[in-house]
């Protein structure tokens, strides 16, 4: 069924954003991952012409990207930060002569103050799909790699010991997404297959013990997000659901996301400050891709899609407690920055 353009139910006209497409350091680049930290927007970029990826920073809502460090010769897949002024980027660190191959995946740490770049002491044998940091500055990764027992798993870099360790007590067959809340509760959405049936599970680590959330509603989920009130969010068909880990109750948040030709190509969820942001994309026809972005606040939905991505691909949505701006990485040649309608914009700083 082709993409059908319909507004979410319970739509609130009060939420709207003005959008700007900021240039990156090179005109041919597009953004693949973004992260706000310390008043800056950090952006992982990819240049298809030179087949190189970099870490860049954007200092304000109208500023262009500044190339930092961290060259990769294949796509950078993820980006996150700790509380010590470090940015972590995950990607493939093969040599330039090995472009087009896959292997030698690493986590690079970039320190904002010193402008220094180091590689955490481990090479992974498969793609690192997801990375996040907890409030104690430990790093968690999962993806299409195996540990010393030849199992897919969740691994943790302990900053107190500077060592990697496997922390999942069950085989993470096919990790689909990962998030962490401010209580250090880590959630991993993963799938397994039996004959032709797919079963999705959310495994979550609370302290030192793992628990599982299983439901048929999760079997169509491809993304998760969490808030700081024990709620887990996930997509179910064209709906967005919430699951409370205390009451064990599921809630339909009352929206209909767009319908795409072959289902969602990608869905991204980000919750912050009482607002849930949902970005999604898929094929509107055999050769055409379209994207949409929605915001859920005060039990109401608003579509906030910038016109530029209606014929493009989005790779996520980023927010922060520091200011009201949001950032959307996409295959456009630049980075999309949204400013809430009515919020006065300062050209050189996100914090003013």
184-243 pLDDT, tens digit each: 999 999 988 776 778 889 999 988 888 889 888 898 898 999 998 899 999 988 889 999
Whether 3 has a pLDDT exceeding 80, the answer reads no
Q: Is the pLDDT higher at 91 or at 291?
A: 291
Q: How many domains does one find in the chain?
A: 1
Please report whether residue 347 resides in a domain.
no
Whether 171 has a pLDDT exceeding 70, the answer reads no
4 pLDDT tier (thresholds 50, 70, 90): very low
Please report whether residue 12 resides in a domain.
no
42 pLDDT tier (thresholds 50, 70, 90): very high
1 pLDDT tier (thresholds 50, 70, 90): very low
Q: Which two tokens stand for residue 190?
A: 């993963």
E strand residue ranges, 207-347:
209-214, 224-226, 231-236, 239-244, 250-252, 266-272, 275-283, 289-297, 300-303, 326-328, 335-340
Q: Which two tokens stand for residue 159?
A: 């900053």
pLDDT tens per residue across span 92-112: 766 666 555 556 788 989 998
Please report whether residue 8 resides in a domain.
no
Whether 12 has a pLDDT exceeding 50, the answer reads no
**pTM for this entry:** 0.88
293 pLDDT tier (thresholds 50, 70, 90): very high
pLDDT tens per residue across span 115-134: 888 888 888 888 888 999 99
Domain of residue 60 covers 17-340
150 pLDDT tier (thresholds 50, 70, 90): confident
Please report whether residue 180 resides in a domain.
yes
Give the three-class secondary structure for 220. Answer: helix
Please report whether residue 218 resides in a domain.
yes
Please report whether residue 346 resides in a domain.
no
Please report whether residue 6 resides in a domain.
no
User: Rounded to an integer, what distance in angstroms lies between the CA atom of residue 100 and that of residue 116?
Assistant: 28
What confidence score (pLDDT) does residue 252 get?
Answer: 94
Please report whether residue 182 resides in a domain.
yes
Q: Is the dihedral of CA 33, 191, 244, 296 positive or negative?
A: positive
Percent of the chain with pLDDT over 70: 90
CATH number of 31's domain: 2.130.10.10
Whether 173 has a pLDDT exceeding 80, the answer reads no
Q: Any residues with CB less than 8 A from the CB of 338 and at least 6 apart, and which?
A: 17, 18, 19, 304, 306, 325, 326, 327, 328
User: Rounded to an integer, what distance in angstroms lies between the CA atom of residue 101 and that of residue 94?
Assistant: 8
29 pLDDT tier (thresholds 50, 70, 90): confident
Percent of the chain with pLDDT over 90: 34
């Amino acid at each position: 069924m082709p993409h059908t353009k319909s507004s979410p139910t319970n739509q609130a006209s009060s939420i709207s954003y003005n959008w700007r497409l900021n240039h990156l350091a090179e005109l041919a680049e597009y953004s693949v991952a973004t992260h706000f930290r310390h008043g800056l927007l950090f952006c992982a970029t990819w240049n298809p012409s030179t087949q190189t990826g970099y870490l860049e920073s954007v200092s304000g809502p109208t500023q262009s990207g500044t190339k930092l460090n961290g060259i990769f010769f294949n796509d950078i897949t993820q980006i996150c930060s700790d509380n010590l002024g470090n940015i972590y980027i995950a990607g493939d660190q093969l040599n330039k002569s090995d472009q087009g191959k896959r292997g030698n995946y690493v986590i690079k740490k970039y320190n904002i103050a010193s402008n220094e770049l180091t590689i955490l002491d481990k090479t992974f044998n498969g793609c690192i799909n997801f990375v996040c940091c907890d409030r104690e500055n430990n790093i968690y990764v999962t993806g299409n790699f195996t540990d010393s027992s030849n199992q897919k798993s969740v691994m943790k870099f302990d900053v107190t010991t500077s060592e990697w360790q496997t922390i999942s007590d069950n085989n993470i067959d096919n990790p689909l997404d990962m998030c962490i809340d401010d209580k250090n509760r880590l959630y991993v959405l993963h799938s397994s297959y039996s004959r032709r049936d797919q079963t999705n599970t959310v495994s979550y680590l609370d302290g030192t013990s793992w628990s599982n959330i299983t439901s048929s509603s999760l079997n169509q989920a491809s993304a998760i997000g969490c808030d700081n009130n024990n709620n887990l969010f996930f997509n179910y068909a064209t709906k967005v659901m919430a699951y409370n880990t205390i009451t064990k109750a599921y809630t339909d948040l009352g929206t209909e996301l767009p319908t795409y030709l072959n289902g969602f190509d990608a869905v991204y969820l980000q919750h912050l400050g009482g607002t849930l942001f949902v970005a999604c994309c898929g094929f509107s026809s055999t050769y055409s891709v379209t994207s949409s972005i929605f915001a859920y606040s005060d039990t109401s939905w608003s579509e906030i899609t910038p016109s530029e991505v209606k014929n493009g691909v989005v790779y996520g949505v980023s927010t922060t407690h520091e200011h009201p701006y949001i950032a959307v990485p996409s295959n456009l040649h630049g980075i999309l920055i949204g400013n809430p309608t009515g919020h006065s914009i300062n050209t050189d700083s996100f914090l003013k």
